[in-house]
Structure 1
């Protein structure tokens, strides 16, 4: 892992061996003086170099007029000079080959037109210098394990395993001030400031791999680069708890939406969906963020959401239980062994339930017995110990006893809540000093445990893999022709017929619709589709047809068709005389037995791009507001979770005399809409309302789609926050005997075939691929190998059709190195197709993807020295070979792309 971090362009930012401070000063109350004081006050073992033309010495240390005068190498520049001087300083740093900087100074984009000009100059200079920098207008960076405090904070920061990345310098200051008295330690505090260069994604990617960091806190005011942010957040949350506090929760994403979906989705709901997709946990208040920091600093992880509570006060227990219900924390019943153990020390009338009330006069020995029983209880994943000070309670003695009991069996997270203030201060300090986080209220303690439980739940959900899914090929050329025609006419909305045609191109069942400009044409259309019919106003200016009386249902005959046409036309003239009236649309009345009315839609968030909505449909959709939101791309597991987050999901099951809905068909529509918004960057809004769903399938009764031209020079998936399956990387080929062969990117639905492939490899092949003995992939590895981040890695599988369905015959993959210019690859091919050229074809396709998709210039890997066939393949493909200097059993291979 350290070798991986060493290649990061941020390596010397987070791990410098020499630091130059521009603007260093001894002037009282200046930023330069405070930063220099913080740098020299720590136990940083590297060089500290003051640079300021106004000083010859600072604190007895020689001060340089310019960085060009400094002898030796410099890893990190910390800049605290006026904004106007900084572009030139960056130029000087470039001459000294300094690749990382922290720009503390303000006066850039926040300072008007002149600041914006300086901001552009700063970015241009940094780009030419190949420099990555933090800020400007930031507090700086703290790396306590290095003894590095490159900030103007007023407090020192203790060492620990918790990292903070914040857009607010004030929050960094508050947490630093709060950390020491609460025995809270950090591996890093990162103040992003304006994030002109380094943003959340960059810092998260580094800290996700940092061995000193075991949990991460984020304070977010806004996200600029959603793809980078989610990619990094997902990588970090796979292995470490990530808690996020986001401000600005009540801004709406759209005030003038053209679809129900656009009106239903708010920006905060989208942010929640993004965090859930990445596996991060959200805090709602500063207090909750502090609570999360306390529990995470204890470095204990929960293996579930079952909390045991030990208390000497019934009221406190009820408060904790109420909050547990709010936070989806399970208060599991104590085991039989726990009840038996406590029966020996508690009165016969004790509750034998959770919370475990050991009564107000409980002495330290009763607390110890209850704590030991709780720690041994398999029904509890964590333990909360609460004390309410009473006449016969020695709070400190109880705290000391609890600390000793926990030290004997430190396997579960233990939290404390010593309620009160002055009488419990000494006890609280003792608990905190010994690694047991103490909270002032039962509610805050339960909230803190819930963050551990949510992280565990997210990790468990991330391991779910969808079953095999058939390949789906939409009619993309036809879909794009429909959109191009509408855009060519200057329209931002597709007509009803165009909208349904677009859905049909993605295999979504629709009700055939015909446009009719006159009553006579409407009769012909009705006779064509068959009675009874539905008639709806046809106008590009009407968003919701029912609102203007523009819908007639169950029209039974030709005479009624003419009457309905006239009534719709007259109603339009009265309700919306300004709207264009193009006639009506006619469609056969959709009949789905025991149908439920649903809505499925999509909208475009300004930060996270396309979003997908599912909920209860019909004309009351915006009143009921029973819906849930997710980010594409979806798979079957994610689609089912989206459905389950709504109340209407319960109506999809059988109840009374109504059969269950064909849920698989509903999921399929969600998957097709996911494909549609990923593949068609022009689609900005989409409504299917209602979608009739019954036991025999689904049908889209009404559809409305908004469109716009995508930005120039955008890539095929630049509009999507999470990169979808790249369809353009599918290669069709065949074996020498004519058997079809497909080489394509791996998908989550390949989990089963990937596992079968690994199981059927020979022991030698598994040894060559994994450099160890492994009979099959763990669930965690299986999810990791099939649910990949296409923006930072690629995996190509060779698939053929076997007697029992698709069969994997090989896989080649690469992961992009932190330098973002090279990648590390691996490949393995089934023994049944050895020497048939599968490895060569996979590697050529992989190299092409690395070069064309990610603009990489170098591919490298490690091969066992005894793997002669692989080394021969590498030679044939033009890879150089050299022995690994650290391990003679390995050969390092490398090729320019």
Structure 2
């Protein structure tokens, strides 16, 4: 395997895999953090050099103690600081001067309890100025068992394994470290983030995603500082391994007095859930579920689905497990007739003949094992939970032996065990764990663990869903921006009803036209433009919800009635809201949507994850109904339909009684158009469409309110990197044909599949270095659902009648640290030697330079002469690989002109 160039190693490699460590505050004083940390490092078997640093000592535990890190005589990868908070800034400066760029600060006193904030700010300023990365402060440190590295003051050290734990809680780190060894739980890393002042979840998960020793990642989250980095890292990690997240504080009410319904309805936890759903990570809801996830994932188990078989010798235990499975939406199908017949031949006469498979309390160990084996052989089930209650005639160890044998005979399905009790089952549990079978003490814990596996499989399958091809409308972004700029020029932070509806119309959302009237005289003209029947609504930038002042009147049939409504509505509003600026009324035609359902679509701006879109039932009772699903833009058709399915509104959209089914496609289009709008316009802080009428003929936005925000003060715009719309051009080729070059979209999945399938065998081999005939579902999803924060992918499209046909694709993936990127280009056989590859390469180079990437790298087979000629002509260096003469490494220096 080729050595990774130093510039391409992950920036946190010296933190996680250091070759030398300095411990500031190391001593022999009993009970001190510095003594505990240095003792553990010195005695752990860590192969690197460990330096104690303390001006008060000449030696510590037999090691020469340094007065400063500069006396080490050589560079030091990692500094662990155990000294009081007031000393930390000076130590950071010393580390920077000596070239140590990675520091763990165990010390507290940096703003944890509204004190020490000045010192916190100073620490961060020094770190940022000097380029030092800081883990902590106020953390318990870092454990890397495979390196025999324990830079913590925890009482115990976890054994080697494949599970990484990342936590903001030092107490949780302590509990897992203490729990790990007796439960045969091995770790690849234990990371305490503490305050997470600098290094956060995104940084750590990004490293662990490519860590070969880590097979699964568990996170305990109290808060996220960098939403986009968190989402991007989790998206990347979940392509490779399971990620389970426990989020504390989900009941905290983050809603506020907002100008829109959406802001009042949606809390931080809704947005956090939406962020996790975009990443493919699984959420645990309790500590017990997190520990269950740790146990099951440490054995590397996977499932094909959510169908669980429960085998038990106690009916009550089976009922408890069944109840928990039902709460978690797990399936408990009945065994097949063949399995029933097989078990009839071996089990006691009165066994349950259903799921749970109750083998009866007097079943022998061979009978218990036979029941587990039969369920493992039954394709109805995706996993088996074996539960045992110790009874007088039961041999727990013998039962464990038979379950282990059954599991080894069917390695494709997970077996979970729950030997209830303690005294009589301790040895049996140990046998099960040592044999690689996750063992739990309660039925609920075991079912929770299986649910984690099933959720991971479901999240993975959802990620493979590809949206149908869809016409991508071109919106008048300049016109939309002009509307916002006009409001800003008038010193307004919200759009008028006319402006809001004009903005919706620009993005393809059907609206009814509003006409405004400040006076009764102006009312006559507005009513004449609209006709009867009409609706009249109060118009004031200071009234968010018109129903609060009885500010909506419908089915007005005459001019006299309209004038009466005008006078009464404006007077009543002035009385109820004396501070409100009343700018008259809006006159609108009565909406004509047959069999209409009232829905709402909204947008709010989360301070961590940026814009979030909500959907649900609308109307005047929206706060009472509180029906909502939340997702992060940009949306695809798949994501939009998933949003609808999660709500109670979903069933109301179907045909029932005398109502025809609503046009779901039109609702999906609205959600995607709203996504396009908020992706293009970072000034949109909040938005409400309520109601959005939906019927069999389509949809109509009746009322819209949009609140603006200053993008510079509103936190991140989007957590999921948007499409790079700055790349959209048409190029004329040598033969006169025109190609369209733009970023790849998820909706391009069908075209991408056909493009690869239609490549000649030789072209596929040159691109994929093998004889693959096409893309797997996972490859297709990864190639089209691009994280543009760490990747870049563009397609070349040629006109094919009224449609466009993909004829080329180019992409690069940014390596760790952002110094270089690996690229690939392929052009369909019939379109080669027309200049497409050169144009695609030009766009890759421009984008790489825009991102500050220094090197573009690639691998080319020796026989790919056309590509080698191209890259030589463009100025790439071309070198044979010393370990494979058929492969050339190519590189382009982007720092040169």
TM range (shorter): over 0.9
- Three-state SS of the structure 2 residue aligned to 1:109 is coil
Question: Aligned residue for 1:422?
Answer: 423
**8 A contact 1:520–1:562 mirrored in 2:** no
Residue 112 (structure 1) shift? 5.9
Question: Aligned residue for 1:688?
Answer: 689
Q: Distance in 2 between matches of 1:37 and 1:458?
A: 43
Q: Give deviations 1:778-837, integer Å, cap 9, x for gaps.
A: 110000000011111100111122137211111111111102122111111122222211
Q: Distance in 1 between matches of 2:3 and 2:640?
A: 38
Q: Distance in 2 between matches of 1:150 and 1:166?
A: 15
Question: Aligned residue for 1:507?
Answer: 508
Question: Aligned residue for 2:36?
Answer: 34
Question: Aligned residue for 2:794?
Answer: 796
| 1:250-649 map, 5 Å | 250-649=251-650
Moved more, 772-781 or 798-807: 798-807
- Three-state SS of the structure 1 residue aligned to 2:28 is coil
- Three-state SS of the structure 1 residue aligned to 2:544 is coil
Residue 119 (structure 1) shift? 3.3
Question: Aligned residue for 1:764?
Answer: 762
Moved more, 4-13 or 679-688: 4-13
Residue 850 (structure 1) shift? 1.4
Q: Distance in 2 between matches of 1:24 and 1:394?
A: 52
Query: Which of these residues, 858, 861, 872, is aligned with residue 861 of structure 1?
Result: 858
- Three-state SS of the structure 2 residue aligned to 1:448 is helix
Moved more, 774-783 or 130-139: 130-139
Q: Distance in 2 between matches of 1:309 and 1:527?
A: 71
Q: Distance in 2 between matches of 1:750 and 1:90?
A: 49
Moved more, 680-689 or 84-93: 84-93
Question: Aligned residue for 2:837?
Answer: 839
Residue 3 (structure 1) shift? 5.2
Q: Distance in 2 between matches of 1:642 and 1:378?
A: 32
Question: Aligned residue for 1:90?
Answer: 92
**8 A contact 1:24–1:80 mirrored in 2:** yes
**8 A contact 2:255–2:265 mirrored in 1:** no
**8 A contact 1:135–1:195 mirrored in 2:** yes
Residue 85 (structure 1) shift? 3.1
Moved more, 493-502 or 395-404: 395-404
2:882 paired with 1:880: no
**8 A contact 1:53–1:64 mirrored in 2:** yes
Moved more, 611-620 or 798-807: 798-807
Question: Aligned residue for 2:82?
Answer: 80
Residue 166 (structure 1) shift? 0.7
Residue 7 (structure 1) shift? 1.0
| 1:667-706 map, 5 Å | 667-706=668-707
Residue 111 (structure 1) shift? 7.1
Question: Aligned residue for 1:151?
Answer: 152
- Three-state SS of the structure 2 residue aligned to 1:218 is strand
Q: Give deviations 1:79-124, integer Å, cap 9, x for gaps.
A: 22233333333333334433322222223233767x4444344334
**8 A contact 2:610–2:716 mirrored in 1:** no
Residue 448 (structure 1) shift? 1.1
2:137 paired with 1:136: yes
Q: Distance in 2 between matches of 1:739 and 1:636?
A: 32
- Three-state SS of the structure 2 residue aligned to 1:407 is helix
2:887 paired with 1:893: no
Question: Aligned residue for 2:66?
Answer: 64
Residue 2 (structure 1) shift? 8.7
Residue 485 (structure 1) shift? 1.5
Q: Distance in 2 between matches of 1:862 and 1:726?
A: 26
2:208 paired with 1:207: yes
| 1:168-247 map, 5 Å | 168-247=169-248
Q: Distance in 2 between matches of 1:706 and 1:196?
A: 32
Residue 737 (structure 1) shift? 4.7
Q: Distance in 1 between matches of 2:551 and 2:707?
A: 20
Question: Aligned residue for 1:818?
Answer: 816
Question: Aligned residue for 2:781?
Answer: 783
Q: Distance in 1 between matches of 2:36 and 2:486?
A: 63
**8 A contact 1:368–1:401 mirrored in 2:** yes
Q: Distance in 1 between matches of 2:88 and 2:2?
A: 32
Residue 585 (structure 1) shift? 0.6
Q: Distance in 2 between matches of 1:19 and 1:222?
A: 29
Residue 746 (structure 1) shift? 0.7
**8 A contact 1:636–1:671 mirrored in 2:** yes
Q: Distance in 2 between matches of 1:34 and 1:127?
A: 29
Hey, which bits of structure 1, 4+ residues long, moved more than 6 A? none
**8 A contact 1:865–1:890 mirrored in 2:** yes
Question: Aligned residue for 1:830?
Answer: 828
**8 A contact 2:607–2:716 mirrored in 1:** no
**8 A contact 1:103–1:138 mirrored in 2:** yes
Long gaps (5+) in structure 2: none
Q: Distance in 2 between matches of 1:175 and 1:268?
A: 25
- Three-state SS of the structure 2 residue aligned to 1:142 is strand
- Three-state SS of the structure 2 residue aligned to 1:658 is coil
Question: Aligned residue for 2:847?
Answer: 849
**8 A contact 2:350–2:360 mirrored in 1:** no
Residue 375 (structure 1) shift? 1.4
Q: Distance in 2 between matches of 1:98 and 1:755?
A: 48
Relative to structure 1, the CA distance from residue 10 to residue 2 in structure 2 (aligned partners, 3 Å threshold; closer, same or farther) is farther
Q: Distance in 1 between matches of 2:574 and 2:197?
A: 54
- Three-state SS of the structure 2 residue aligned to 1:375 is helix
Residue 348 (structure 1) shift? 4.2
Question: Aligned residue for 1:160?
Answer: 161
**8 A contact 1:487–1:708 mirrored in 2:** no
- Three-state SS of the structure 2 residue aligned to 1:611 is strand
**8 A contact 2:877–2:891 mirrored in 1:** yes
Q: Distance in 1 between matches of 2:712 and 2:252?
A: 25
**8 A contact 2:348–2:363 mirrored in 1:** no
Relative to structure 1, the CA distance from residue 599 to residue 758 in structure 2 (aligned partners, 3 Å threshold; closer, same or farther) is same
**8 A contact 1:519–1:561 mirrored in 2:** no
Q: Distance in 1 between matches of 2:84 and 2:318?
A: 56
Q: Give deviations 1:345-398, integer Å, cap 9, x for gaps.
A: 224443321110101111101111001111111111111001112222222222
Residue 883 (structure 1) shift? 1.9
- Three-state SS of the structure 1 residue aligned to 2:863 is coil
- Three-state SS of the structure 1 residue aligned to 2:304 is coil
Q: CA RMSD in A?
A: 1.8
- Three-state SS of the structure 1 residue aligned to 2:642 is helix
Q: Give deviations 1:594-646, integer Å, cap 9, x for gaps.
A: 11111111111121111111101111111111111111110000000000000
Residue 128 (structure 1) shift? 4.4
Q: Distance in 2 between matches of 1:413 and 1:643?
A: 33
Relative to structure 1, the CA distance from residue 886 to residue 106 in structure 2 (aligned partners, 3 Å threshold; closer, same or farther) is farther
Q: Give deviations 1:387-443, integer Å, cap 9, x for gaps.
A: 112222222222232223323333211111112232322322222232222222111
**8 A contact 1:253–1:605 mirrored in 2:** no
Q: Distance in 1 between matches of 2:361 and 2:27?
A: 59
Q: Give deviations 1:682-735, integer Å, cap 9, x for gaps.
A: 1111111111111111110111111122217x9xx9411111112122123233
Q: Distance in 1 between matches of 2:509 and 2:2?
A: 49
Query: Which of these residues, 855, 868, 871, is aligned with residue 871 of structure 1?
Result: 868
Q: Give deviations 1:172-221, integer Å, cap 9, x for gaps.
A: 11110111111111000011112222111110011011111111110111
Query: Which of these residues, 10, 13, 35, is aligned with residue 11 of structure 1?
Result: 13
**8 A contact 1:253–1:606 mirrored in 2:** no
**8 A contact 2:419–2:439 mirrored in 1:** yes
Q: Distance in 2 between matches of 1:45 and 1:376?
A: 47
- Three-state SS of the structure 1 residue aligned to 2:858 is strand
Question: Aligned residue for 1:729?
Answer: 727
**8 A contact 1:329–1:450 mirrored in 2:** yes
Q: Distance in 2 between matches of 1:515 and 1:124?
A: 53
Relative to structure 1, the CA distance from residue 540 to residue 2 in structure 2 (aligned partners, 3 Å threshold; closer, same or farther) is farther
Q: Distance in 1 between matches of 2:872 and 2:506?
A: 46
Q: Distance in 2 between matches of 1:885 and 1:413?
A: 44
